Amino acid sequence: MSIQEFVEPLGSRILIRKDGARQTTRGGIVLPDQAEIPTITGRVVEISAQIANDTDFPVRKYDKVLFHPKNAIPVDLESDNVLFVVDIDDVVAVFRRTSRLEASADPIEDADERDDF
């Protein structure tokens, strides 16, 4: 029988696994270790019951989020991952994707088509 530890955030908090820091810029320049760019994006690993039941915060498990790291509380549970307990007020954005059909729809053309009727 094995026992696994997990973190259950309480109150208005979520658990985020921070994305790895980039060591290469978009232009292809390799940065030395001391010039590490701080990464403040990550994946939601767990959400508190309070957030799960709150429709004002559309953050769900596995969402990619942008968060302010100043008040994030580091959790030393996994040796190779960086986990943080973050208050929902420190989450500033949730990344969403649209389907190709939604992205290619032109709202101006749709309005013109409605006017034809």
**Any idea where the domains of the chain sit in the sequence?**
13-115
Could you tell me how far CA 116 lies from the centroid of its own chain?
42
For residue 117, what pLDDT is reported?
45
The sheet carrying 73-75 orders its strands as: 73-75, 83-87, 13-18, 41-47, 64-67, 91-94
Q: Give φ, ψ of 54 to 5 degrees.
A: -100, 115
Please name the fold of domain 13-115.
10 Kd Chaperonin, Protein Cpn10; Chain O (2.30.33)
pLDDT tens digits in sequence order for the chain, 117 residues long: 677 777 889 999 999 998 876 666 667 666 655 545 566 899 999 999 999 998 888 899 999 999 988 889 988 876 766 899 999 999 999 998 876 666 555 555 555 555 554
Enter the pTM of the model.
0.67
